[in-house]
Structure 1
Amino acid sequence: MNDQVLFFKDNRFWVLRGLQMEPGYPKTIDHLDFPQNINKIDAAAFDKNTGKTYFFVSNQYWRYDENSRSMDRGYPRKTREDFPGIGPKVDAAFQHN
């Protein structure tokens, strides 16, 4: 997302670039292709090697392709099945280097 930081609160998100809030925000998370029944994001992490952002909601996760700006097919998937070492529910994410 080109050095952007996204902030989530309930079903809305804001985009910060540098120290400036991007105009036109907040937007609802359905702008990111989430189903209407999803009302908040628990955690998100961007993988710069793949260009994918992982969004964790309850015991599932979605994978978003930053290049096509759309959710990848086949999601949501169960967090526990694909990330067995971190448990079923993710409520925070941190990326080092």
Structure 2
Amino acid sequence: MATTPTRTFADLARAGLAIEVTCQKCGHRAEIDGLVPALRDKPIAGRRFRCTQPGCGGVGLPEIGRQRGWPQRLAEHVRSLRPPGGLPQTRKK
């Protein structure tokens, strides 16, 4: 069974993929939502990305990967904030 090529942002989203763009200047990362009406039917090829951080405007380097939901991203963030030995125990006096 042949698969149709991924040409638009909507095709990418339907395939469970997302584009994550990293600014080459400041390192800011953003995930592009392919189902936004302004992008849905736009072709991926030839698209240019710019950083949206105030005062930056650097070139965005796109990377295609699997979509990750917010619960997984939040869990990863919380794990990164915890100290290696777990949370310190507080003692009552």
The bucket for the TM-score relative to the shorter chain is under 0.3
Higher-strand-fraction structure: 1
Bigger Cα Rg: 2
Higher RCO (CA < 8 A, seq sep 6+): 2
With structure 2 as the length reference, what TM-score do the two structures score?
Answer: 0.24
Higher-helix-fraction structure: 2
